[in-house]
Amino acid sequence: MFTILELPLPRTQQLQPNIAKSIWWSFLFTVLIMAYHPTLRTQSLPLAPIVNLFHASTHLEAPFRRVISEITVKDGRLPLCIISDVYMGWANDVAKSSGTLNETFTTGSACGSAAYVSLRQHLSHRLTGEDEFHLPGFSDACRFHLSQLHQFLRAADGTDSWSRTFCFYISFGSQNTISTSQMMALATGLEESGKPFVWVIRPPVGNNLNGEFQPEWLPRGFEERMARTKQGLVVHKWAPQLEILCHKSTGAFLSHCGWNSIMESLSQGVPIVGWPLAAEQGFTSKMLMEEMGLHRVN
């Protein structure tokens, strides 16, 4: 059984007057599903007004929050999940604040969607300096050309808000660590990069790995600045590594190349930046790079 609720879109200045008069843009919401109103037709509209409609759709967030609240009160429990169109990004915020999940549904091809996500996460077109480039997750024979990208995608360089989903994960395992000078240099580089990161940190070489971490081992005020700007998260001693590697925002893993870390990273398709520190790690790193072509050695 489906319950259909119609949320009318308020007229806004974002819509051109003739469109605002002729279109009362609505969406259908079921207990679990959010989809386009079947009577809306956009085939005759040029691209610019359609983009305006997408921007104006953010006005549906508040009434949709009320719908979720009403459903929760009526049923005595939260909806199992929300399924939203790919253009309704604000549905993620609604789901998160409501304590449920949002699953994004796209009507595009699986291949096209995967290419878009890979480009967004890795910005491969910025790494080669050439017009043709390869996207992680696709075969080596599959090459893309800059001319095939929309101008907004070509301009993406990681500083715009939509591409800040990339997060750099750093961990040297439970039995390894780096020197004080290396730790200081790594922290400085991370901060200057401006990129989001999660760093699992332990006391430097020569100290008790399970002892208290001293502030002087990092640049002055580093942890406080990272917390204030929300650029990075410094985690002391231990973190749920597999959960972090499973997260869609984790774009690369700076690892000591311990075997558990290698297997967990490869299982999730996360690129590895190798920094071998001890035991067989150097050989493992060499195998991954030279035999399998999977990572670069620091």
Residues 182 and 272 in one domain: yes
**pLDDT one-digit tens code per residue, 4-51:** 777 766 554 444 444 444 333 333 333 233 334 444 455 555 666 666
Please list, residue by residue across 199-217, b when 16 or more beta carbons sit within 10 angstroms of its beta carbon and e when fewer do. bbbbbbeeeeeeeebeeeb
Residues 201 and 281 in one domain: yes
Residues in the chain predicted with pLDDT less than 70, given as ranges, are 1-2, 8-51, 158-165, 293-298
Q: What is the pLDDT of residue 181?
A: 95
Residues 187 and 227 in one domain: yes
Q: What is the pLDDT of residue 18?
A: 47
C-alpha to C-alpha distance for 99 and 132, rounded to whole angstroms: 43
Expressed as residue numbers, the domain containing 214 is: 166-297
C-alpha to C-alpha distance for 198 and 191, rounded to whole angstroms: 12
Residues 291 and 205 in one domain: yes
Residues 176 and 273 in one domain: yes
Domain end among 89, 122, 157: 157
Residues 83 and 187 in one domain: no
Residues 139 and 194 in one domain: no
Residues 185 and 138 in one domain: no
Residues 149 and 170 in one domain: no
Residues 27 and 119 in one domain: no
Q: What is the pTM of this model?
A: 0.48
Question: Number of structural domains, the chain?
Answer: 3
Q: What is the pLDDT of residue 146?
A: 86
Cβ 11 vs Cβ 23: under 8 Å:
no
- Kindly state the helix (H) or strand (E) to which residue 6 belongs, with its residue range: strand 5-8
Cβ 46 vs Cβ 39: under 8 Å:
no
C-alpha to C-alpha distance for 195 and 189, rounded to whole angstroms: 10
Distance of CA 215 to the CA centre of its chain: 30
Residues 85 and 9 in one domain: yes
**pLDDT one-digit tens code per residue, 78-101:** 888 888 888 788 888 898 888 888
